[in-house]
Chain A
Amino acid sequence: DADVTQTPRNRITKTGKRIMLECSQTKGHDRMYWYRQDPGLGLRLIYYSFDVKDINKGEISDGYSVSRQAQAKFSLSLESAIPNQTALYFCATSDFLASEQFFGPGTRLTVL
């Protein structure tokens, strides 16, 4: 079974809709991250969380919010989706040393 899972894997939505992407992990890591990937730009950090009560903005947090419901769950929300949020979204986890991040399979989001 995968250590980091993301749901849904694919989603098509319309401008203005609220969308939630979910991430679960069984690695027992405290740290969780949300990234978006755009062609030619690599991965950019949206939000990260070092534990349930610690949430921090990343490089590109505008237009996004997150919720850390439990150690194992970290959700990303788009309150009012816009077309330039069309991207591949990855969740990742790491232990407190942050020496390596473990990635989920990604969610491909299309906003029409």
Chain B
Amino acid sequence: AQSVTQLDSHVSVSEGTPVLLRCNYSSSYSPSLFWYVQHPNKGLQLLLKYTSAATLVKGINGFEAEFKKSETSFHLTKPSAHMSDAAEYFCVVSASLDMRFGAGTRLTVKP
């Protein structure tokens, strides 16, 4: 069995400041991990994925995430937030054909 916990349901940052969205996972296997973004009234778009290669994963729009097995974490970061980053973000764990979504973190970016 596997599960995902997104530690913050809502994160608010000012434009130009760093973004940190936290994700912890639990899996009995060696999982793949993903971050998806959902803009209002849109479907989900893949930001980045970890599939047992490099532990630091770079994604689109300046986002990156680091897989830390010892901490069972896969936190999403961005050095400088942009207004267009305001959206909901989902951390996802996948192993053995079982994919589980976190509850989501809503990111608000203030001018």
Contacts and interface: CB of A to CB of B under 8 A. Distances in A.
A12 interface: no
Chain B interface, >50% SS class: strand
Interface residues of B, number: 21
A71 to B, nearest CB: 19
B43 A105 contact: yes
Interface stretch (A14-22, A75-83, A94-102): A94-102
A104 B43 contact: yes
A103 interface: yes
Contacts of A100: 34, 46, 49
A43 interface: yes
Contacts of B49: 99-100
Contacts of A45: 99
Interface in A66-112: 90, 92, 98-106
Nearest to A41: B103
Q: Which has the most chain A C-beta neighbours within 10 Å: B44, B49, B101?
A: B44
Given A43-B44, A98-B99, 19 more contacts: A4-B43, A40-B104, A42-B104, A43-B101, A90-B44, A98-B94, A99-B49, A100-B34, A100-B46, A100-B49, A101-B99, A102-B46, A103-B36, A103-B44, A103-B45, A105-B41, A105-B42, A106-B41, A106-B43
Interface of B: 4, 9, 32, 34, 36, 41-46, 49, 51, 90, 94, 97, 99, 101-104
22 contacts: A4-B43, A35-B101, A40-B103, A41-B103, A42-B4, A42-B90, A42-B102, A42-B104, A43-B90, A44-B101, A45-B99, A90-B44, A98-B97, A99-B49, A100-B46, A100-B49, A101-B46, A103-B36, A103-B45, A105-B41, A105-B42, A106-B41
